[in-house]
A and B are shown apart, each in its own frame.
Chain A
Amino acid sequence: MIVTIQCFAQLARSAGGADHELNLDDGATAQDALRLFAENSSEETRALLFTETGELQPTILLFLDEEPLLFSEPAPMRERSTLFIATPIAGG
């Protein structure tokens, strides 16, 4: 199935753009999608997403089709689902 990873702000800049399509096996979860996306990304992007020990950075916000998602709770993806990933931003 085809799903979209949508990156926000710093992550989008690091990943070379906001939208990234992935082709996943049926039954794959949002967590699978995020790990696959990270594996195919640069070291800088991986470091924005995951700690050195492979945990999701605590400052990452995930939304699956607009709904909040906890990385600890596997969530199945559907054809054309969008996983939105936000890193924190501030003012200035």
Chain B
Amino acid sequence: MTELPITPEPLNEEERATYEWQSWVPGFGEPGQERLKGASVLISRVGGLGSVVAYELAAAGVGKLVLAHAGNVKHSDLNRQLLMTHSQLGKPRIESAERRLRELNPHIEIVPVAENISEENVERLVGEVDLVVDCAPLFEERFLMNREAVRQSKPMVECAMYDLEAQITTIIPGETPCLSCLFPEAPPAWKREFPVFGAVSGTVGCMAAMETIKLIAGLGETLASKLLTMDLRTMRFHSHRISRRADCAICGA
């Protein structure tokens, strides 16, 4: 696995105590934790998927989380967007997300951005971090992040869900297929709102957080060049090999 250019940050005694259980993981240890502390991650939207990704990364001690999400908390967010709370209904989602993460881990840096990814902010936001986790509901946002992550050579963990199904892959620019290799254009029939349980977004969100931790720490084997699909209705999981497209408009040679 290619090692990300992250400068490890030394831990203090409280951090050693907080992350003690994960530091016992073989191949991770204190050096892995120091890499997490020195790392920064952009999470595009902290809804159903991104809430869980952000929560797990905050708990694990990733040093800086940049969260991009516009809009206010609605009732229909609450079945899956675990950083949003009933008491925050009608208030900005990003404030609810920031508050919950600070309650969990006051020692990490959280950069709340009350905007969704757009042509205007994507270069700056991707440029602020070591890697990206794509949890956005709209393909326009996903393609923007993919384009920028490829351009800046930043890895991107790509996760998605529908009904009781979900998928995840890890994009390493120059090595693996990018999002546009898989889907050269936006699907004609995709709808912004779709059926899903919070337990589905939670499942794949945890996997995306684990992929992120593995990428940062250089731990284990990632989903680079593999698309993991899961159907939680039947509990069938498939790991499909995926390939780059030579004619990809974003990453093709």
Chain B residues within an 8 Å CB radius of A66 = 238-241
Complex CA gap A21/B10 in Å reads: 57
Complex Cα spacing A18 to B167, Å:
15
In the assembly, what is the distance between CA of A74 and CA of B124, in Å?
A: 44
Complex Cα distance, B187 from A33, in Å, reads 22
Contact residues, A14-58 vs B (CB, 8 A): 18, 47-48, 57-58
Contact of A90 with B238 at beta-carbon distance under 8 Å, contacts A9-B162, A58-B185 already known: no
Number of residue pairs spanning A and B whose beta carbons lie under 8 angstroms apart = 102
Interface size on A, residues (CB 8 A): 24
Which residues of chain B have C-beta atoms less than 8 A from A8's C-beta?
Answer: 165, 167, 229, 231
Once the chains are docked, how many angstroms separate the CA of A61 from the CA of B182? 7
26 pairs from A and B in contact (CB 8 Å cutoff): A8-B165, A9-B165, A18-B231, A18-B233, A47-B189, A59-B186, A59-B187, A59-B188, A61-B242, A63-B238, A63-B240, A66-B241, A84-B240, A86-B227, A87-B189, A88-B190, A89-B166, A89-B190, A90-B138, A90-B160, A90-B190, A91-B45, A91-B47, A91-B135, A92-B192, A92-B201
